[in-house]
């Protein structure tokens, strides 16, 4: 029988968190094996940010993350910051730029970041097996773990699970991390698609389907108390529902069966503005609305008003103006669902953080077993926060191995 290969650490999952953690651990002098079942390396990094990878956000803080345990991410984020990652990117001479609200992107290609992470692994002498399937992980009789893989048995003092979430199954996402967590007695906060377009019942959506392609800045909110979310971002109408940054952000907070509230004219007091216009103008209501909103939106909103939309403003009652303004600025609608993992950028939920150390990402149940990145119940907003969590959690873990 072939003898088992032996390593200090096996990292399962060569995505953002796993590659980064493996490189740091290797450079600390540990013998690291990095295993991934996918044919291609780090596909999610490659396709992220439209191929330019929004690799961090300058404004990253715990408030940008959802978790059943919101304080969990605090320590790792504070100990490895966007500045630390930028320093690494600069050491590798990768050109980058800030796009919007602190979001940093590669100037050229996300391939640059993948190459950087690979060089860091090489500098740490990391062994990489890919594609390679892990069939089983168990505790060794004396100390550490034994793994059964396509390339034979492996022994290791520690195992780091960095298998990510369920989004985009066609590029390697799996529930392996959740299954492994449960196998070792961990609770898993029910995973759900997040940063995902919202869909509506086809009949209810029919009046808005013609708006597909229209984009405008809105305020969107949902929930209440500590579970509430509110964003000022761009909204995109689609054939099946709503998308765009505003809706991706709010989808992470949305609970099935509950409404979202939209203000389609943020920063305006439409009711007062229409009343004031009525005092000085005989313009038709529909035309007046089109001076304050995108024309297609004004048209869609006027359609159900019938003749009222064609009336000169002075002939429209104040209460009708107020009702029209409210329908635009307090638009309440209940999504039927989401576009699911096929379109979700991330998975919310995951390995329950109450059973992990926030300093080392190590299991409190099984010494030597760590969970990092998206597999953990820490989900960032849109805008580079999820990669920053991958780097920060990977770093906290690597320092403790
Ligand atoms: P990640 O998913 O990167 O890696 C997990 C790895 O584990 C994969 O390589 C997978 O093959 C492997 N694996 C899974 N199961 C396995 C098994 N059973 N055995 C072995 N290996 C296994 N975030 C951001 O901050 N900025 C952005 O611009 C974007 N853009 C973006 C676009 C799109 C289209 C998506 C889908 C996602 C984003 N994200 C993002 C989110 C970001 O990609 C994500 O949060 C991180 O990649 C998570 O890093 P992880 O290493 O945890 O998982």
Mean pLDDT, the chain, as a whole number? 96
Nearest protein Cα to ligand 1, atom 48:
374
Contact 103, 7 (CB under 8 A): no
Distance from residue 306's CA to the centre of ligand 1 (Å): 49
Distance from residue 128's CA to the centre of ligand 1 (Å): 17
* Complex prediction ipTM: 0.99
> Does the Cβ of 373 fall within 6 Å of ligand 1?
yes
Strands 337-338 and 241-243: unpaired
Distance from residue 82's CA to the centre of ligand 1 (Å): 18
Report pLDDT for 226. 79
Please report, rounded to a whole number, the percentage of residues in the chain having pLDDT higher than 70: 100
Distance from residue 163's CA to the centre of ligand 1 (Å): 8
Contact 23, 114 (CB under 8 A): no
For a ligand 1 pocket test, name from 345, 348, 388 the mutation site with the most ligand atoms within 8 angstroms of its C-beta: 345
Nearest protein Cα to ligand 1, atom 32:
48
Report pLDDT for 3. 74
> Does the Cβ of 350 fall within 6 Å of ligand 1?
no
Q: Is the pLDDT of residue 1 over 60?
A: no
Q: Is the pLDDT of residue 85 over 80?
A: yes
Pick the closest to residue 53 from 85, 18, 13, 7 (CA basis): 85
Report pLDDT for 308. 92
Residues 207-218: what's their mean pLDDT? 95
Condensed to tens digits (0 to 9), the pLDDT of residues 142-200 reads 899 999 999 999 999 999 999 999 999 888 899 999 999 999 999 999 999 999 999 99
Distance from residue 54's CA to the centre of ligand 1 (Å): 13
Rg (CA), the chain: 25
Long-range residue pairs from 207-216, CB within 8 A, at least 24 positions apart, any chain: 207/300, 207/303, 207/304, 208/237, 208/300, 209/239, 210/296, 210/300, 211/237, 211/296, 211/297, 211/300, 212/237, 212/238, 212/239, 213/237, 214/294, 214/296, 214/297, 215/244, 216/264, 216/293, 216/294, 216/297
Condensed to tens digits (0 to 9), the pLDDT of residues 346-394 reads 999 999 999 999 999 999 999 999 999 999 999 999 999 999 999 999 9
> Does the Cβ of 394 fall within 6 Å of ligand 1?
no
Report pLDDT for 2. 66
> Does the Cβ of 278 fall within 6 Å of ligand 1?
no
Length of the chain equals 401
Distance from residue 365's CA to the centre of ligand 1 (Å): 26
Phi-psi sector, 374: left (phi>0), alpha (psi -120 to 50), beta? alpha
Q: Is the pLDDT of residue 69 over 80?
A: yes
Nearest protein Cα to ligand 1, atom 29:
48
Distance from residue 166's CA to the centre of ligand 1 (Å): 9
Contact 158, 401 (CB under 8 A): yes
Condensed to tens digits (0 to 9), the pLDDT of residues 294-346 reads 999 999 999 999 899 999 999 999 999 999 999 999 999 999 999 999 999 99
Report pLDDT for 142. 85
Indicate the pLDDT class of residue 132, thresholds 50, 70 and 90. very high
> Does the Cβ of 52 fall within 6 Å of ligand 1?
no
Report pLDDT for 227. 82
Nearest protein Cα to ligand 1, atom 9:
15
> Does the Cβ of 191 fall within 6 Å of ligand 1?
no
> Does the Cβ of 176 fall within 6 Å of ligand 1?
yes
Q: What is the pTM of this model?
A: 0.96
Residues 87-109: what's their mean pLDDT? 97
Indicate the pLDDT class of residue 74, thresholds 50, 70 and 90. very high
Distance from residue 191's CA to the centre of ligand 1 (Å): 15
């Amino acid at each position: 029988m072939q003898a088992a290969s032996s390593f200090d650490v096996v990292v399962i999952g060569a995505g953002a968190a796993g590659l980064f953690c493996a490189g740091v651990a290797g450079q600390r002098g540990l013998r690291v094996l990095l295993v991934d079942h996918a044919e291609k390396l780090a596909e999610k990094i490659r396709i992220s940010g439209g191929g330019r990878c929004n690799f961090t956000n300058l404004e990253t803080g715990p408030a940008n993350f959802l978790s059943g345990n919101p304080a969990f991410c605090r320590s790792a984020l504070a100990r490895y910051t966007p500045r630390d990652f930028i320093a690494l990117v600069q050491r590798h001479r990768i050109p980058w730029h800030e796009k919007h609200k602190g979001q940093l992107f590669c100037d050229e290609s996300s391939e640059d970041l993948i190459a950087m992470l690979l060089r860091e692994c090489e500098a740490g002498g990391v062994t990489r097996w890919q594609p390679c399937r892990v069939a089983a992980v168990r505790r060794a009789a004396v100390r550490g773990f034994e793994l059964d893989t396509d390339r034979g048995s492996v022994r290791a003092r520690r195992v780091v699970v960095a298998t990510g979430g369920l989004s985009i199954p066609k590029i390697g996402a799996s529930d392996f991390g959740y299954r492994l967590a449960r196998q070792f007695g961990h609770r898993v906060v029910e995973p759900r698609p997040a940063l995902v377009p919202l869909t509506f019942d086809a009949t209810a959506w029919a009046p808005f389907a013609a708006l597909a392609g229209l984009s405008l800045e809105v305020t969107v909110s949902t929930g209440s108390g500590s579970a509430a979310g509110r964003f000022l971002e761009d909204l995109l109408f689609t054939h099946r529902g709503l998308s765009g940054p505003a809706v991706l952000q709010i989808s992470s907070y949305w609970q099935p069966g509950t409404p979202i509230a939209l203000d389609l004219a943020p920063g305006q007091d439409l009711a007062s503005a229409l009343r004031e216009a009525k005092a000085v103008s005989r313009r038709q209501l529909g035309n007046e609305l089109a001076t304050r909103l995108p024309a297609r939106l004004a048209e869609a909103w006027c359609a159900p008003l019938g003749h009222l939309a064609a009336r000169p403003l002075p002939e429209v009652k104040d209460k009708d103006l107020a009702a029209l303004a409210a329908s635009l600025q307090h638009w309440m609608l209940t999504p039927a669902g989401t576009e699911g993992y096929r379109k979700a950028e991330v998975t919310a939920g995951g390995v329950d953080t109450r059973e992990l150390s926030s300093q080392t990402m190590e299991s409190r149940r099984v010494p030597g077993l760590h969970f990092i990145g998206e597999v953990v119940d820490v989900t960032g907003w849109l805008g580079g926060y999820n990669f920053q969590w991958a780097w920060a959690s990977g770093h906290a873990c690597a320092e403790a191995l």
